[in-house]
Amino acid sequence: MEEILRKRMEGNEYVRHLGVELLELREGYAYGRMPYKKELANPYGFLHGGSLYSLADIVAGNGACMDGRYVTTVSGTMNYLEPAVNTEYVYCEARKLRSGRNLAVFEVRLRDDAGTLLDSGEFTFFLTEHRVE
Q: What is the reported pLDDT for 63?
A: 98
CATH classification at residue 13: 3.10.129.10
Which residue type, as a one-letter code, is found at position 32? G
The count of structural domains within the chain is 1
Average pLDDT over residues 12-32: 97
Does this model's pTM top 0.95? My answer is yes
74-104 as b/e: b if 16+ CB within 10 A: eebebeeeebbeebebbbbbbebeebeeeeb
How distant, in Å, are the alpha carbons of 13, 14, 28, 100, 118 from that of 18? 9, 6, 23, 31, 18
> Structural domain of residue 8, as residue ranges?
2-131
Average pLDDT over residues 3-22: 96
pLDDT digits (tens, 9 = 90+) for 52-105: 999 999 999 999 999 999 999 999 999 999 999 999 999 999 999 999 999 999
Q: Is 75 in contact with 124 (CB distance < 8 Å)? A: yes
